[in-house]
Chain A
Amino acid sequence: GAVVSQHPSWVICKSGTSVKIECRSLDFQATTMFWYRQFPKQSLMLMATSNEGSKATYEQGVEKDKFLINHASLTLSTLTVTSAHPEDSSFYICSARNSVMGTEAFFGQGTRLTVV
């Protein structure tokens, strides 16, 4: 099946620094990638949708200047949490899909971010 790899799996950073999370589709071209955030014991909340070569579309309430999303190629999208603060600590999950492959999206293993 289609594989999506997310890196790093976990990261600890100091408050005020920026952190970049990568999401790669390993064996297919991802025309669309999605970024989700999951708080402890809660569901996944969609943060943004990005199409290759276009600006990301952010969900209401998500700060685009704080969560920078780049989708420069058909196999890579990055999420950069800028000037991170403890309240940004969360589990971030990406997913990727190709419209030719149907409606299913394939998920990365997630990145646990802890801001201290």
Chain B
Amino acid sequence: GNSVTQMEGPVTLSEEAFLTINCTYTATGYPSLFWYVQYPGEGLQLLLKATKADDKGSNKGFEATYRKETTSFHLEKGSVQVSDSAVYFCALSNTGGFKTIFGAGTRLFVKA
């Protein structure tokens, strides 16, 4: 079945450090891939998405590239800010089941 695996957290970084959160997936067909962010006490916000191989999603300095050959969708940001502290979820959805399948989430702490 479809599944998403992402690196365990928490990840603690200093402000302006480089961020990578790894995400790999298992899926039939050609899923769409997403990164969602959840701030404390809030719901989910879509951060970025990619719908086909080699697509790069980007938003607010974050980016991720859909790599079919490695079944990965790693999240990166060149310089994190304290306000980026949140939980990040990698997810996939395909046209077959329509469900969005989430990874376990990675908690990011950014220190000033």
Contact = CB atoms under 8 A, between A and B. Distances in A.
Interface of A: 6, 32, 34, 41-44, 46, 49, 93, 95, 97, 99, 102-110, 112
Nearest to B41: A112
B59 to A, nearest CB: 12
Interface stretch (B17-25, B62-70, B93-101): B93-101
Contact of A105 (B31, B51, B93, B104): B93
Nearest to B92: A103
Contacts of A97: 98
Contacts of A108: 43
11 contacts: A49-B98, A49-B99, A95-B100, A99-B98, A104-B32, A105-B98, A106-B46, A107-B36, A107-B43, A107-B45, A110-B42
B105 A107 contact: no
Interface string B20-49: 000000000001101010000111111001
Contacts of A99: 95, 98
Contact of A43 (B34, B41, B46, B89): B89
A105 B100 CA distance: 7
B42 A32 contact: no
B43 A6 contact: yes
Given A109-B43, A110-B42, A104 B98 contact: no
A103 B66 CA distance: 15
In the A-B complex, the 7 residue pairs with the smallest Cβ-Cβ separation, listed nearest first, are A109-B43, A110-B43, A103-B32, A103-B93, A107-B44, A43-B104, A44-B102
B91 to A, nearest CB: 9
Contacts of B43: 6, 93, 107-110
Contacts of B100: 34, 46, 95, 105
